[in-house]
């Protein structure tokens, strides 16, 4: 980890791979989602309204090449030396006919200045044959698969209708890393029914996986989702963090995370017109700056408590995951890091 920084960020990881600056360009390739069309489930994950991060469902108005070229034109005016990673973010980036999928990835990779591919997907949606293709591609260019893990607790995954288990996430991340493909995980902090201690236990559980990078963000209630209706009917069953609480939660989380896993993101803000709560009204970079400041105020860093937590064990963390507060009462935790959050049990 860069000694100047209290946590390992994604830029630091990219610098170990590329001797130049790289920028991700998001593309919507028109893929859909097996948790919406009935092949895994219907209605989707309860928190998901894909419009909050995608301009259209399965029907992009511009080709992958056009979208990539739009992005490249935009960035290259200011940074002529910049190179690019194509980011298949919308819906499930590995769901579809394999020939079509590969054709879309290759379309992006042949755009000028593109040096790699990042594909966001579900952990139950990468068949071995496709993993073989990613492995072959990875021998020629940078490839990263980013999995929606969301929680390490199966009871939470059931509650949010993910239609996959944590075990499937863990297995897929291991299989992907075994092919020398970079691995990312996406996790939501504050899903309903999870105590603060359980949220923090995700850090220890995820640290046992061969993860390259982790994306975190706070739970947001988005209009038009199943969760929005649950929130309307039973708001007391949700705890939405205030910005200050969340800043401390992120520091607590990072302290428990293995130091070589990059934290690519701490927070996310959905468009105002789609967001019901929490209404932070603060840009992502502002929250991230507060997190960095809080690391310094607490004289702590990513990984400071890594390996000091009690061994939740993958099985215990997944199926019963009794909240363990021992991590917070560890004597080693006390001198450097004052108790930061009101613990919800
Ligand atoms: S979060 Fe992903 S898997 Fe879940 S409904 Fe949305 S697009 Fe589908």
Maximum pairwise Cα distance, the chain: 57
Summarised one tens digit per residue, pLDDT across range 188-203 is 999 999 999 999 999 9
- 136: helix, coil or strand? helix
φ and ψ at residue 320, rounded to 5 degrees: -120, -30
List the domain boundaries for the chain. 10-333
Closest alpha carbon to 274 in 88, 57, 50: 50
Cβ-based neighbours of 70, under 8 Å, separated by 6 or more: 62
Measured over the CA atoms of residue 58, residue 64, residue 70 and residue 71, the dihedral's sign is positive
Residue 321: what pLDDT? 28
Measured over the CA atoms of residue 157, residue 161, residue 167 and residue 170, the dihedral's sign is negative
Summarised one tens digit per residue, pLDDT across range 105-133 is 999 999 999 999 999 999 999 999 999 99
Q: Is 161 in the pocket of ligand 1 (CB under 6 A)?
A: no
Residues of the chain with pLDDT under 50: 52-58, 312-342, 345
| DSSP notation for 207-234 | TTS--SEEEEEE--EETTSHHHHHHHH-
Residue 344: what pLDDT? 53
Q: Whole-angstrom Cα distance, residue 116 to residue 184?
A: 15
Q: Is 164 in the pocket of ligand 1 (CB under 6 A)?
A: no
For 10-333, the fitting CATH number among 3.30.70.580, 3.80.30.30, 3.30.365.10, 1.10.3720.10 is: 3.80.30.30
Residue 53: what pLDDT? 44
- Rounded to two decimals, the pTM is 0.88
Distance (Å) from CA 316 to ligand 1 centroid? 26
Q: Is 249 in the pocket of ligand 1 (CB under 6 A)?
A: no
The CA distances from residue 53 to 35, 244, 247, 324, in Å, are: 17, 25, 23, 34
Of ligand 1's listed atoms, the one at least distance from the Cα of 48 is 6
Q: Is 217 in the pocket of ligand 1 (CB under 6 A)?
A: no
Residue 49: what pLDDT? 84
Q: Is 36 in the pocket of ligand 1 (CB under 6 A)?
A: yes
Residue 114: what pLDDT? 98
Residue 3: what pLDDT? 72
Of ligand 1's listed atoms, the one at least distance from the Cα of 44 is 5
Query: Residue with the nearest Cα to atom 6 of ligand 1?
Result: 48
Q: Is 45 in the pocket of ligand 1 (CB under 6 A)?
A: yes
């Amino acid at each position: 980890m860069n000694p100047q920084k209290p946590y390992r960020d994604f830029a630091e990881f990219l610098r170990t791979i590329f001797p130049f600056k790289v920028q991700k360009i998001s593309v919507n390739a028109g893929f859909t989602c097996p948790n919406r069309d009935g092949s895994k489930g219907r209605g989707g994950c309860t928190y998901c309204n894909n419009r909050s991060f995608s301009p259209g469902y399965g029907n992009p108005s511009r080709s992958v090449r056009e979208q990539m070229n739009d992005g490249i034109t935009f960035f290259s005016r200011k940074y002529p030396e910049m190179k690019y990673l194509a980011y298949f973010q919308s819906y499930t980036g590995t769901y579809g006919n394999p020939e079509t999928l590969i054709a879309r990835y290759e379309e992006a990779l042949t755009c000028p200045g593109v040096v790699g591919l990042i594909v966001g997907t579900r952990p139950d949606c990468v068949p071995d044959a496709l993993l073989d293709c990613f492995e072959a591609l990875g021998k020629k260019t940078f490839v990263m698969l980013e999995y929606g893990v969301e929680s390490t607790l199966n009871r939470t995954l059931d509650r949010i209708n993910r239609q996959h288990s944590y075990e499937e996430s863990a297995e897929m991340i291991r299989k992907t890393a075994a092919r020398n493909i970079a691995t990312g995980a996406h996790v939501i902090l504050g899903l309903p029914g999870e105590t603060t201690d359980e949220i923090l236990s995700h850090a220890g559980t995820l640290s046992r996986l061969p993860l390259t990078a982790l994306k975190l963000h706070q739970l947001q209630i988005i209009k038009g989702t199943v969760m929005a209706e649950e929130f309307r009917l039973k708001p007391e069953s949700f705890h939405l963090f205030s910005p200050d609480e969340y800043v401390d939660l992120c520091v607590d989380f990072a302290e428990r995370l293995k130091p070589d896993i990059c934290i690519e993101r701490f927070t996310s803000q959905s468009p105002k017109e789609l967001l019901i709560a929490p209404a932070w009204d603060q840009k992502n970079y502002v929250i991230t700056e507060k997190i960095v400041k809080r690391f310094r105020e607490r004289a702590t860093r990513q990984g400071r408590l890594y390996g000091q937590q009690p061994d939740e064990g993958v099985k215990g963390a997944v199926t019963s995951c009794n909240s363990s507060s021992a991590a917070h009462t560890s004597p080693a935790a006390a001198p450097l890091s004052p108790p930061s959050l009101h613990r919800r049990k």
